[in-house]
Amino acid sequence: MRTLKIMLPILIGVFVLMSLLPYGKRENPQTDPSLALQAPKDVEKIFKRSCYDCHSNHTRWPWYSYIFPFSWSVMDHVKNGRAALNFDTWKAYSKEKREKLKASIATKSGVTMPLKSYLWFHKEAKLSKEDLQTIRKWAYETE
């Protein structure tokens, strides 16, 4: 008990300090709006709901993104997610790259994307059968 009484405040202190540490940034960088993806409304709606938190510059930073250790994980996901695919700079990608990304979107959606850990906190992001069909149709049938 005695050890716990001493250790617990220290532990909480460490977590608070880690949360306050200026590691990484929770930023939504400004980009030219004309570079953003333009897809049919039903497709955009799905991406905005289920993907934009990690794959755009319009991240809705959740409260737990300010709490260590979740903060590190969220910032990493957004950083790597944007680097892999950013719908806000979609038109800056070459045609070839866009085709590759579309194929990747079609195969990853509903499988590894959105990330499982994200779905724990965002039930609304889960893709339905119809969502998947809409996404795949867009990925395979549009320029």
Which range, of 15-23, 37-45, 64-72, 73-81, touches ligand HEC by CB under 6 A? 73-81
Number of residues forming the site for ligand HEC (CB under 6 A): 20
Q: Is 105 among the residues that bind ligand HEC (CB under 6 A)?
A: yes
In the bound state with ligand HEC, the residue whose beta carbon lies nearer, of 39 and 105, is: 105
- Out of 36, 37, 43, 55, name the contact with ligand HEC by CB under 6 A: 55
Buried b (16+ CB within 10 A) or exposed e, 54-72: bbbbebeeeeebeebebbe
Strands in 65-109 per DSSP E: none
Which range, of 8-16, 27-35, 64-72, 99-107, touches ligand HEC by CB under 6 A? 99-107
Q: How many CB atoms lie within 10 A of CB 133?
A: 11
**Closest CB 51 distance from ligand HEC, rounded Å:** 3
Two structure tokens written together for 83: 């680097």
First to last CA, the chain: 66
Two structure tokens written together for 9: 């405040």
Secondary structure of residue 109 in the 3-state scheme: strand
Binding site for ligand HEC (CB under 6 A): 50-51, 53-55, 77, 80-81, 84-85, 101, 104-105, 108-109, 113-115, 118, 127
